[in-house]
Structure 1
């Protein structure tokens, strides 16, 4: 009887050790254990670790299902969620950074993250990614927060790319063929002219902002805002100027809507839904508003038209997660474990189903394409960013140089200054900002 008892005790210990061993890996995109020496005790099992996660916009922006899923898979990580409305969070985290009390992990706009990296606030994730992730599992937007010298200061919270939306009824009434994924910049301009009826219907709903307005135009014209190093202004480039001029010529010519017309319709999206505009450069997140506010509108999307150089550029807006560089080593590893979970197919499918942004995990992207809500051609977004996703020439001073460029862009759009003269003025001001931030 005594021998039996000893044998049973030995078996229990063996099974216990096996269970601990099997629970050290994380289900997701990585190929390495989510635990490290910093988060494991001497007996081989994980030790308790505290992790503070900052959530701007709270669970309206980040699905609680993802946070709960991570906690369930990592019971040894004691998660404290610091959430508040976006504006309040931004103000609070600035104070926390100054006082070295910031969360271990949070997310903000990608350009802000790049600024944090330059200031030494954000941890360089390149070694983590090399250690644990398989690049082939993700689209290139995984590296939205990578600098020209190879540092990676964040991973995407979600991707919000652009596509060309169109109102089918307007095209049908005009007996004009619908757009296709093979359209060029010239196709966009010529079709906009055909569909326009002065002060009644515009071929293209215009926008003076960066993401859905002037940046797509300069890219379709083959230009750029900054050079590849993100240290030189390219607003003097004839191709960039050509893009701004094409936008201005469209407004003057009556085939791109004025901002006053858009406001009279109640905004860009109502103008598209109600057939006052035939086409619109639409961000993915806009589809939630279209489906909720205009469920009967007959519309779809195609990929962004190819530029004059034959290449396609798909502008995308990204919020990115960062790890606080001054967090404790074990908290950094716990934060990275969260990032790996966030990039897993399980969590990325939740991101896909949210409707507000697109995941970077390729398997989750395929799930998104099965969704039958409008727009039907979701591949215009998913294949678009996989093929040609591009950030908005973001760098650490993005908010500053964009801030000096935007008022002049507005004057170009409204015809108060020529595209050529406005571009030269922007070039000088943007370069001055870049030089000050070297």
Structure 2
């Protein structure tokens, strides 16, 4: 567009538009069409070990008008200093953390509400429901997923074959799983002690006490995420079944895991035939145990006939105090990260599942587990977050030692749920 002078001439009329002079870029038609120059500071906890460099490079190549500055640090260091930076208004324009932390940022006014951006620029039917993992109860969206990390039932094929036990199917219930696990638990040394187990239970939230608490139709929190539900009879019943796995000779105790180097190593080394495995664990197993013959199937259906698939996400957040241009640039990054191109890079990495449906078809089915649809179909059918709310980190930390004591037999399930109800409800009430 030609520059137009608004100064009046001596006759009282307006001067005619001036022609752009050669070399005057500010008045050339090309200059008016040039993309806005912006600067974007991106926080990368864990650096390229967590976020693929290929994605960052792809964004930079497609957006030469956006000058990118990366803020990299090991995850723990990043998380420690981000709070100080938020308080001082010096946080990156965009970064990612645990989804529950992002919801807390939204409540505190730290995170930009993305619901308007999403409605304007994204076709929601191109994404799985996990796109809205960081949606608050009032409909605001405070982040978009860095990746989805759901769970499935992993099983060692050789151990099943050697024991003559049929392989798991997607129609299995929890009881089917435990019946098979009982047959797979053995004393291979002949010393009267089990040293091979059919199922590897866990005391952690994602693959342990959360799905088991809900396995018989119980709940951890109610739908509003403001009321603890541990003393519900169905919740107690699920916790009892989980707590009895060691006594019933189905699962090892925590000392066994300590000696084995963790639950996934106990599975990968052939000491445990099945366990609930997060998607990201496959990368560790394939690296350290490349010859392990294993696969995955959907988490069994609960005792109430319903499947429930816990999933964990880290989410990208835009700093609410960032400058307007930086927010615009940050949203451009989010759009690129959610594009089929970038999401395909994520899918092929094996680190997490994408939320873009087309990219979901690009999962590497040559690498174990071959049946990655156990994860994608699982979350499509019954994916849930871990009752995340702004106080999630606090109530989870209050619940964890109590669950650990229940599993170790230091508390009966009945005693434990009373403590869980009291302590978790206090956290919820204090954070209303």
Asked if structure 2 preserves the Cα contact closer than 8 Å seen for 1:215 and 1:392, the reply is yes
Deviations 1:186-225 (A, max 9, x none): 1112222222125121111121010111111122222221
Out of 247, 251, 270, which is 1:252 matched to? 247
Deviations 1:84-123 (A, max 9, x none): 1111111221111111111110000111101111110001
| Alignment partners' CA distance in 2, 1:76 and 1:270 | 47
- What's the offset of the Cα at 1:354? 1.4
Which residue does the alignment assign to 1:60? 49
| Alignment partners' CA distance in 1, 2:108 and 2:289 | 44
| TM-score, with length taken from structure 2 | 0.90
In structure 1, runs of 5+ residues without a counterpart are 1-8, 21-40
Out of 194, 200, 216, which is 1:199 matched to? 194
Stretches of 4+ aligned residues off by more than 6 angstroms: none
Which residue does the alignment assign to 1:98? 87
In structure 2, runs of 5+ residues without a counterpart are 1-20, 187-192
Q: Does 1:210 align with 2:199?
A: no
Q: 5 Å matches for 1:70-89? A: 70-89=59-78
Q: Does 1:46 align with 2:6?
A: no
Out of 152, 161, 174, which is 1:163 matched to? 152
Which residue does the alignment assign to 1:32? none
Which residue does the alignment assign to 1:178? 167
Which residue does the alignment assign to 1:28? none
Asked if structure 2 preserves the Cα contact closer than 8 Å seen for 1:148 and 1:228, the reply is no
Greater alpha carbon shift after TM alignment, 371-380 vs 270-279: 270-279
Asked if structure 2 preserves the Cα contact closer than 8 Å seen for 1:181 and 1:302, the reply is yes
- What's the offset of the Cα at 1:267? 2.2
Asked if structure 2 preserves the Cα contact closer than 8 Å seen for 1:206 and 1:259, the reply is no
Out of 231, 237, 259, which is 2:226 matched to? 231
Out of 356, 359, 362, which is 1:361 matched to? 356
User: Between Structure 1 and Structure 2, whose CA radius of gyration is higher?
Assistant: 2
Out of 315, 324, 330, which is 1:320 matched to? 315
Out of 297, 303, 324, which is 1:302 matched to? 297
Which residue does the alignment assign to 2:266? 271
Asked if structure 2 preserves the Cα contact closer than 8 Å seen for 1:185 and 1:221, the reply is no
| Alignment partners' CA distance in 1, 2:227 and 2:140 | 19
Count of aligned positions: 402
| Alignment partners' CA distance in 1, 2:232 and 2:34 | 59
Which residue does the alignment assign to 1:116? 105
Greater fraction of residues in helix: 1
